[in-house]
């Protein structure tokens, strides 16, 4: 009997049929496990839904709430798979951007960055000194003369008369009351960005850093009208010392190291890709060389069809 069975299973036809049956069974199992219309909700899925609910509302969901969460998850999964089947995400820029963002997140190297040495920190400070230079600042009082009542010429004339009266009174007096202004009459330690935010770009923001201290100047035009300005104090741009910025330098250095890791990771991913430019360029060779230079040589292969 055993000899007969051995002889039977040695037959090539029998072996072929058995192998075919095995492959068929494996294909059925694979199809069942990967059936796009089969949705499996496991314990891990249920736990994740409960954790998300608790993070949002501060309490664990009740059994009925959890069941509703599971039903909503199933509904969303059905719609998601149906959308994929219809190809709805293929040309959708929002979906594309979301996937890119998730890949960037997954590409981030979360391993800790080693603390910089003293030499590395000083070299970083020297190479990025402009980051730690404070801008010029000025403190000043201003009086505003609006062009709304009588026009530009009348507003400027009122400002000029007030300036002459101030000069005759030695810079004091209430003759420069002017018109109400939407912001402050006195700005303290304002840099150019703050002055432009308050007055707009114009003659006032351009010349205020050049005016003499301790006396009224003007009239100066802003985005709103005419002004008289008295400089109270000024500060020249100043480079913060290494000791003042050491803590910030350490943080900035580590941020730079993380950014370098991210760039290196992206360059590794790009290696091996072949980019085909199916459009006409004035200088495809120069464009390829520039791309290589920017990425330090770790770039995909570039081709141009020259169409």
DSSP 45-110: HHHHHHHHHHHHHSSPPPHHHHHHHHHHHHHHHHHHHHHHHTTTTTT-HHHHHHHHHHHHHHHS--
- Whether 101 and 183 map to the same domain: the answer is no
pLDDT at position 222 is 96
- Higher-confidence position of 25 and 199: 199
| Tokens of residue 255, six digits | 């941020």
Q: Specify the CATH number for the domain of residue 163.
A: 3.10.50.40
**Residue 117, in any domain of the structure:** no
Q: Mean pLDDT for the chain?
A: 83
pTM above 0.75, yes or no: no
From the list 181, 163, 269, 174, the residue with the least C-alpha distance to 218 is: 163
- Whether 212 and 292 map to the same domain: the answer is no
CA–CA gap between residue 9 and residue 1 (Å, rounded): 12
**Residue 231, in any domain of the structure:** yes
CA–CA gap between residue 142 and residue 217 (Å, rounded): 9
pLDDT at 257 over 90: yes
Q: Residue 107's pLDDT band (boundaries 50, 70, 90)?
A: confident
Q: Residue 293's pLDDT band (boundaries 50, 70, 90)?
A: very low
Mean pLDDT computed over 155-175: 82
CA–CA gap between residue 226 and residue 189 (Å, rounded): 22
pLDDT at position 161 is 93
Q: Residue 12's pLDDT band (boundaries 50, 70, 90)?
A: confident
Q: Which domain holds residue 93?
A: 43-107
Hey, is 162 helix, strand or coil? helix
Total number of domains in the chain? 4
pLDDT at 167 over 80: yes
**Residue 48, in any domain of the structure:** yes
pLDDT at position 298 is 47
CA–CA gap between residue 142 and residue 185 (Å, rounded): 5
Ranges 1-15, 21-35, 194-208, 290-304: which has the least confidence: 290-304
- Higher-confidence position of 21 and 297: 21
| Tokens of residue 173, six digits | 């007096």
pLDDT at 230 over 90: yes
Give the length of the chain.
307
DSSP state of 112: P
Q: Residue 29's pLDDT band (boundaries 50, 70, 90)?
A: low
């Amino acid at each position: 009997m055993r000899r007969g069975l051995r002889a039977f299973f040695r037959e090539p036809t029998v072996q072929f049929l058995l192998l075919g049956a095995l492959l068929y069974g494996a294909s059925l199992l694979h199809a069942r496990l990967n059936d796009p219309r089969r949705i499996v909700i496991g314990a891990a899925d249920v736990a994740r839904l409960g954790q998300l609910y608790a993070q949002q509302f501060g309490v664990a969901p009740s059994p009925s709430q959890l069941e509703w969460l599971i039903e909503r998850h199933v509904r969303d999964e059905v719609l998601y798979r149906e959308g994929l089947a219809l190809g709805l995400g293929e040309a959708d820029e929002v979906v594309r951007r979301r996937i890119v963002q998730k890949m960037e997140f997954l590409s981030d190297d979360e391993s800790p960055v080693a603390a910089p040495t003293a030499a590395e920190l000083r070299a970083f400070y020297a190479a990025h000194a402009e980051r730690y230079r404070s801008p010029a600042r000025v403190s000043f009082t201003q009086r505003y003369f609006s062009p709304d009542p009588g026009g530009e010429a009348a507003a400027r004339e009122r400002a000029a008369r007030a300036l002459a009266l101030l000069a005759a009174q030695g810079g004091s007096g209430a003759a420069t009351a002017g018109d109400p202004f939407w912001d402050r009459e006195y700005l303290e330690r304002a840099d150019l960005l703050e002055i432009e935010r308050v007055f707009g770009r114009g003659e006032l923001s351009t010349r205020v850093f050049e005016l003499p201290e301790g006396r009224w100047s003007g009239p100066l035009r802003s985005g709103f009208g005419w002004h008289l300005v008295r400089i109270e104090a000024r500060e020249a741009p100043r480079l913060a010392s290494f000791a003042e910025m050491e803590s910030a330098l350490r943080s900035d250095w580590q941020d730079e190291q993380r950014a370098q890791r991210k760039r290196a990771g992206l360059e590794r991913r790009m290696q091996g890709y072949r980019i085909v430019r199916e459009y006409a360029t004035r200088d495809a060779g120069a464009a390829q060389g520039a791309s290589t230079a920017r990425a330090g040589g770790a770039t995909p292969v570039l081709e141009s069809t020259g169409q």
